[in-house]
Copies of this chain bind each other. A is one copy, B any other.
């Protein structure tokens, strides 16, 4: 139970948008933090994030670096680690000899699914006891959050 380092500042109860923004931001960050801290995980956050990027499509190393907002040498090292773990593979690009395409191995895809499932379990466990009305509110809120975050 990691407590929340960003929750202890005084603010007025919640009048307008500002109060809602504050409270909602903190609630989301708390959920996020606890999912990351408390879901059992075989791979570190950086490895997990790269695996997730590769779930839909193989990617050239450079694109992967840009998506993850790190430099090419950093991604090169991360990928080397993932290759050693058997989670991804490097292949030459047939149309451009300079490019190295990274893709999930079967074991990597399996590992990714397991990790994701464990994160969902953490959340589902905590939603079990809610009433149908409360679940409906959260469902509606989820759609709103998705809209808001995609702005």
Contact = CB atoms under 8 A, between A and B. Distances in A.
A146 B29 CA distance: 11
A5 B127 contact: no
Contact of A137 (B25, B28, B119, B140): B140
A54 B149 CA distance: 30
A3 B35 CA distance: 19
Contacts of A113: 9
Interface in A61-83: 67-69
A52 interface: yes
B135 A17 contact: yes
A95 interface: no
A123 interface: yes
B20 A31 contact: no
In the A-B complex, the 10 residue pairs with the smallest Cβ-Cβ separation, listed nearest first, are A141-B141, A32-B32, A21-B124, A5-B52, A21-B123, A27-B145, A28-B31, A28-B28, A25-B123, A8-B56
20 contacts: A3-B67, A8-B52, A17-B127, A18-B124, A20-B138, A22-B120, A23-B139, A24-B123, A24-B127, A25-B35, A25-B120, A25-B122, A27-B146, A28-B28, A28-B29, A28-B145, A29-B35, A137-B141, A137-B144, A141-B141
